[in-house]
């Protein structure tokens, strides 16, 4: 039971991470395509300035919780996906430092370097997180001893790459929508137009991904086998995936940008939960032999640790949600070019 509760929390943490950091990564990826001048760039940086750092902590927490609750899975997953994970980490370093350093020196060359770092540091994690999760849904070649029998290139299989493109589209739509709600004038219109275009691509890839999931993964088998789990696709797919995808476009057309952003968030959460719930009780299925899979049962921490950590999580996570929500609310106003000069932030 404790293991299952932690499984749910684990899935939720990843979903929240993708939902929050997704828009920053999306904005960073779109920067070279959306920003026409220095002011646009500053507005884009500024639109995520107060948030990206707090958002990234959800990744640290998702990692930390994997370590605390399922240490053996943490060990196999992170060592197995070594190269992909290192690339994500280096990229996130560049992204973070770009945000902080870019405006500290008044030189176009200096800013150009950090703009490039922001793009790489946003694009690469968006793509690679998708590749990694698609591979987890599909199963990765781990042997009986939990040793990874593939390499970086074996992760770049068709389904893995499709997952990467899917995440990239999810995050860029999410980022374009965020930008549309945080800006006004020309940049707002360009972001809105791009969001609508990307949405069409997203629909195509989302459908293709859900269909391919049938062929490449055992997620649906798992759902069909387990009557309780069967509720997940029945609820999640129509409401959180199809419904959110649809409402996203509806709100967008009406210019309700906050609602659009919440629909986009629901979509990201829905996709993550759909995939993660389908794994249950696996955390990391083995593609070599299902018996080698890392499950919540063979990799969980002791009941004492799980209990203590549950107490910690149930106390602190609501508090975190309260103060992070306050921060989102506090900085909810649109960023304007006129404000940039006064700001101390970056």
Binding site for another protein (CB under 8 A): 49-51, 53-54, 56-57, 59-61, 63-69, 71-72, 74-79, 82-83, 85-86, 89-90, 92-94, 96-97, 99-101, 104-105, 145-148, 301-302, 304-305, 308-309, 312-313, 316-317, 320, 323-324, 327, 330-331, 342-346
| Least gap, CB of 135 to another protein (angstroms) | 16
Nearer to another protein, 84 or 206 (CB): 84
Task: Quote the CA–CA distance of 2 and 269 in Å, as a whole number.
Answer: 23
Compute the distance between CA of residue 165 and CA of residue 210 in angstroms, rounded to an integer. 13
CB of residue 342 to another protein, shortest distance in Å: 6
**Residue-by-residue DSSP string for 289-336:** -GGG-EEHHHH---HHHHHHHHHHHHHHHHHHHHHHHHHHHHT-SPP-
Our CB check for another protein shows the closer of 145 and 228 to be: 145
β-partners of residue 282 are 295
151 or 193: whose CB is closer to another protein? 151
Residue with Cβ nearer another protein (61 or 217): 61
Q: How far is the CB of 294 from another protein (least distance, A)?
A: 10
Q: What's the rounded Cα separation, in Å, for the pair 85 and 132?
A: 9
**Whose structure tokens read 């999410």?**
174
Residue with smaller CB distance to another protein, 107 or 228: 107
Separation CA 313–CA 300 (nearest Å) = 16
* CB 98, min distance to another protein, A: 10
CB of 59: closest distance to another protein in angstroms?
Answer: 8
Q: Is the dihedral of CA 206, 123, 14, 314 positive or negative?
A: negative
Under DSSP, the state recorded for 288 is S
């Amino acid at each position: 039971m404790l293991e299952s509760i932690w499984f749910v929390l684990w899935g939720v943490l990843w979903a929240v991470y993708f939902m929050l950091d997704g828009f920053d990564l999306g904005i960073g990826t779109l920067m070279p395509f959306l920003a026409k001048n220095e002011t646009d760039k500053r507005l884009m940086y500024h639109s995520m300035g107060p948030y990206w750092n707090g958002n990234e902590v959800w990744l640290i927490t998702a990692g930390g919780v994997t370590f605390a609750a399922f240490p053996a899975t943490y060990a196999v997953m992170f060592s197995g996906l070594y190269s992909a994970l290192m690339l994500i980490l280096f990229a996130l370093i560049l992204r973070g430092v770009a945000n902080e350093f870019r405006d500290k020196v008044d030189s176009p060359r200096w800013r150009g370097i950090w703009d490039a770092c922001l793009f790489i540091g946003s694009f690469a994690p968006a793509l690679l997180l998708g590749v990694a999760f698609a591979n987890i849904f599909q199963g990765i070649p781990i042997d009986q001893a939990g040793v990874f029998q593939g390499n970086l290139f074996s992760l770049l299989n068709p389904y893995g790459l499709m997952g990467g493109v899917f995440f990239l589209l999810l995050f860029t739509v999410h980022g374009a929508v965020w930008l549309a709600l945080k800006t006004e004038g020309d940049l707002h219109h360009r972001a809105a137009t791009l969001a609508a275009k990307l949405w069409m691509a997203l629909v195509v890839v989302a459908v293709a991904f859900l269909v391919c999931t049938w062929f490449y993964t055992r997620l649906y088998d798992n759902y069909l086998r387990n009557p309780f789990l069967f509720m997940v696709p029945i609820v999640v797919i129509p409401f959180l995936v199809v419904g959110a995808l649809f409402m996203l476009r509806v709100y967008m057309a009406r210019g309700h940008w906050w609602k659009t952003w919440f629909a986009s968030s629901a979509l990201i959460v829905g996709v993550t939960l759909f995939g993660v719930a389908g794994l249950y009780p696996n955390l990391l299925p083995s593609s070599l032999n299902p018996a080698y899979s890392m499950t919540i049962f063979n990799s969980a921490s002791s009941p004492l640790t799980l209990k203590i950590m549950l107490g910690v999580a149930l106390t602190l996570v609501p508090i975190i949600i309260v103060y992070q929500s306050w921060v989102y609310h506090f900085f909810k106003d649109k960023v304007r070019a006129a404000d940039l000069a006064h700001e101390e932030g970056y």
